Amino acid sequence: MRTFHRQQHLAFQGDAMAEIHRVEHGWLARYTRLPSGQRQITAIYLPGDYCEPQWLIQPTSTEWIVALVDSRTSVIPLNDDLMDCGSNPEQRQDILEDLLRMLGRQSSLAVALGRKSGIERLSSVLLELYERLAETLSQGEVLTMPLTQRDLADIVGLTPIHVNRILKELRENGALDVQRGSVSIVDSQVLRFVAANGYFESGLRPY
């Protein structure tokens, strides 16, 4: 078991990896750093996810991996048994299936970034995270995401100011609540409608 504090890196670009990490607690992010100093978050890893399952095929980190909050992972060594489907074929299969799920999420994010408006992008990302975590919720429980406005801006490719405006619209229309360093999903149905249509069911279009 490994522990990572908030903003501690699990891997840097170019690192040769000897293990895959399964997230047991916390949230991790993969990001690319641009020459301007900006970053683009390209994946979020939640409890139950294998962090960078493609390392099973090519054990080199192509981007940076950082803990968004204090996190804990279990470690799976990339030894010959795992790489060659030896003594633990079930775990290898689990990792490969998680890789397919990750590729599906990457495709959805590419569509959101390329073809959706700002409010559709942000709503789609929040809804996708909500649906990945919904099975862990108790009845009536509100899902809280430990994401700052900067984190959200770095996922959807908008400025923090633009993200702040969108969050205000979503909050005023009952979709979510925003506190310092976290976003809580209050009504996923409102979020789902906005993600699909780009406006609120009342017919009011956001600014």
Convert the pLDDT of each residue in 90-127 to its tens digit.
888 899 999 999 999 999 999 999 889 999 999 999 99
| Same domain flag for 101 and 133 | no
Structure tokens at 190: 């409102």
* CB contact set of 59 (below 8 Å; sequence gap of 6+): 16, 17, 18, 78
| Same domain flag for 66 and 16 | yes
| Same domain flag for 186 and 156 | yes
Other C-beta atoms closer than 10 Å to the C-beta of 52 total: 27
| Same domain flag for 84 and 133 | no
Question: What residue numbers bound the domain in which 86 lies?
Answer: 2-112
| Same domain flag for 65 and 108 | yes
Distances (CA, A) of 49 to 18, 44, 95, 178, 200: 18, 9, 9, 25, 32
| Same domain flag for 143 and 90 | no
Distances (CA, A) of 161 to 7, 144, 150, 165, 168: 22, 21, 9, 6, 11
Residue 97 covered by a domain: yes
Confidence of residue 207 (pLDDT cuts 50, 70, 90): very low
**Percentage, residues of the chain above pLDDT 90:** 72
| Same domain flag for 132 and 102 | no
Total domains in the fold of the chain: 2
Q: How confident is the model at residue 84, as a pLDDT?
A: 61
**Percentage, residues of the chain above pLDDT 70:** 90
Distances (CA, A) of 185 to 32, 142, 152: 27, 6, 14
| Same domain flag for 98 and 26 | yes
Q: How confident is the model at residue 80, as a pLDDT?
A: 66
Torsion of CA 195, 198, 204, 206, to 10 degrees: 100
Residue 43 covered by a domain: yes
- pTM for the model stands at 0.89
Q: How many residues does the chain have?
A: 207
**CA nearest to 64, candidates 2, 23, 12:** 12
The CATH number covering residue 100 comes to 2.60.120.10
Compute φ and ψ for 90, nearest 5 degrees. Answer: -65, -45
Averaged pLDDT for residues 32-37: 92
| Same domain flag for 12 and 95 | yes
